Amino acid sequence: MSIPTVDGRRLRGDASRRSILAHATDLASVEGLDGVSFGRLAEVSGHSKSSIATLFRGKEALQLATVEAAAEVFRLHVVEPARALPRGAPRVAALLRATVEYSRARVFTGGCFFSAISADVDSKPGPVRDEVRRWQASWRGYVEAQLRHARDLGELAPDVDPEGLAFELLAYFTEANARSLLTGEEQPYDLACRAMRGRLLAAGAPSAALDELT
Least confident of 6-10, 14-18, 78-82, 154-158: 6-10
Structure-model confidence comparison of residues 106 and 122, the more confident one: 106
Instruction: Flag whether 85 is in a domain.
Output: yes
Q: How confident is the model at residue 120 (pLDDT cuts 50, 70, 90)?
A: confident
Distances (CA, A) of 63 to 57, 134, 135, 172: 11, 15, 14, 28
Phi, psi of 83 (to 5 degrees): -70, -10
70 pLDDT above the threshold of 60 = yes
Instruction: Flag whether 27 is in a domain.
Output: no
Instruction: Give the model's pLDDT for residue 10.
Output: 61
Instruction: Flag whether 21 is in a domain.
Output: no
Spatial separation of the C-alpha atoms in residues 78 and 67, rounded to whole Å: 16
Can you give the CATH number for the domain in which 168 is found? Answer: 1.10.357.10
Domain span at 168: 66-213
62 pLDDT above the threshold of 80 = yes
Instruction: Flag whether 48 is in a domain.
Output: no
Instruction: Flag whether 152 is in a domain.
Output: yes
Q: How confident is the model at residue 14 (pLDDT cuts 50, 70, 90)?
A: confident
Instruction: Flag whether 57 is in a domain.
Output: no
The one-letter amino acid code at 164 reads G
Spatial separation of the C-alpha atoms in residues 177 and 188, rounded to whole Å: 8
Instruction: Flag whether 4 is in a domain.
Output: no
What is the arithmetic mean of pLDDT over 30-44? 91
The number of residues making up the chain comes to: 214
Spatial separation of the C-alpha atoms in residues 16 and 102, rounded to whole Å: 25
What is the arithmetic mean of pLDDT over 93-118? 96
Instruction: Flag whether 138 is in a domain.
Output: yes
- Tally of domains in the chain: 1
